[in-house]
Amino acid sequence: MSNAPGTGEAVLFWILGPLAVLGSLGLIFAKKAVHAALGMALTMIILGIFYIAQDAHFLGVIQVFVYTGAVMMLFLFVLMLVGVDSSDGLLETLKGQRLATAVLVLGLGGLLTAALGSVTYPEPAGVKSINEETGNVSAMAELIFGRYVWVFEVTSALLITAALGAMVLAHRERLGKGRNQRDWSKRRVLRGEYVAGLPAPGVYARHNAVDTPALLPDGTPTPLSVSRVLTARDQVTTPERYVEAEDRIAGQIEEDSSR
């Protein structure tokens, strides 16, 4: 039985192979984290297609299903929360880090090339005969639940332990009950401050928005009326423009005049 790839497989490889390399380069060089994750997802999908082309159907589909569908999606889920505009700073935090990286990468590459270059492979058995005799999935199942059953069971126990550990460590139990609306209002009254609640953000005839602080009776803006998130983000505007505009209009009105 010849194990040389057919024309179809060769065409598939020469189209998808460069794409996979491109995806992995994207993972390293993309500035935005989401673009990097997408490059990695592309590489994973193409790897899955390669497995399928080499008759390892189950492995290929599981590669797409698990890595692209679940693992990368979770990565993306976290990355999306980082924000659209954020990109990694290109400032070097460790001195001489790039040079060290280059040396190490070249060394590892040289080592791998030397080691892999001198390996002699036996004639590959090929999956095709197994696929036709026992079937791809059954043969896989026989190995997972037969020969390697302990390896798999121990690995799964380890993973479950790790997941539970992460949950236990990250989970914070609330000590006592949280305050509800009623408790808050009672507290306000007992302390005698802001009995009617905090002032609402500025309501002007011309500008009615949460980013404009309310004015106190003496005309000064009160920062209490704006959400502290907006203050932290530096997105609070000053009410002066609107006050001036109102003053201008007020100046035009004369006492005892009728229109």
Q: Which residues contact 82 (CB under 8 A, 6 or more apart)?
A: 33
Choose between 66 and 157: whose C-beta lies nearer to other proteins.
66
Query: Is the Cβ–Cβ distance between 59 and 47 less than 8 Å?
Result: no
Q: Are 132 and 59 in contact (CB under 8 A)?
A: no
Q: Within its chain, how far is the Cα of 233 from the centroid?
A: 22
Which of 53, 57, 227, 243 contacts other proteins by CB under 8 A? 57
Give the x-and-dash track for 151-190 against other proteins (CB under 8 A). -------------------------------x--------
- Closest distance between other proteins and the C-beta of residue 178, in Å? 17
Any contact of residue 88 with other proteins (CB under 8 A)?
no
Among 12, 22, 27, 34, binds other proteins (CB under 8 A): 34
- Choose between 136 and 225: whose C-beta lies nearer to other proteins: 136
CA dihedral 81, 86, 92, 93 (to 10 degrees): -40
Stretch that binds other proteins, among 32-40, 210-218, 221-229, 234-242 (CB under 8 A): 32-40
Q: For residue 250, give the amino acid letter.
A: A
Binding mask 113-142 for other proteins (x = CB under 8 A): ------------------xx-xxxxx---x
Confirm or reject binding of residue 43 to other proteins (CB under 8 A): no
Q: Do 166 and 178 touch, CB atoms closer than 8 A? A: no
Would you say 222 and 214 are in contact if contact means Cβ atoms under 8 Å apart?
Answer: yes
Structure tokens at 86: 């954020």
Distance of closest approach, residue 101 Cβ to other proteins, in angstroms: 28
Site string for other proteins, 194-233 (x = CB under 8 A): ----------------------------------------
CA quadruple 68, 74, 76, 77: dihedral positive or negative? positive
User: Do residues 27 and 36 lie in contact, with contact meaning Cβ atoms separated by under 8 Å?
Assistant: yes
In three-state secondary structure terms, 222 is strand
| Dihedral, CA of residue 6, residue 9, residue 14 and residue 20, to nearest 10 | -150
Q: Does 250 contact other proteins by CB under 8 A?
A: no
Q: Which residues bind other proteins (CB under 8 A)?
A: 32, 34-35, 38, 41, 45, 48, 52, 57-58, 61-62, 64-65, 68-70, 73-74, 76-77, 80-81, 84-85, 131-132, 134-138, 142, 146, 182
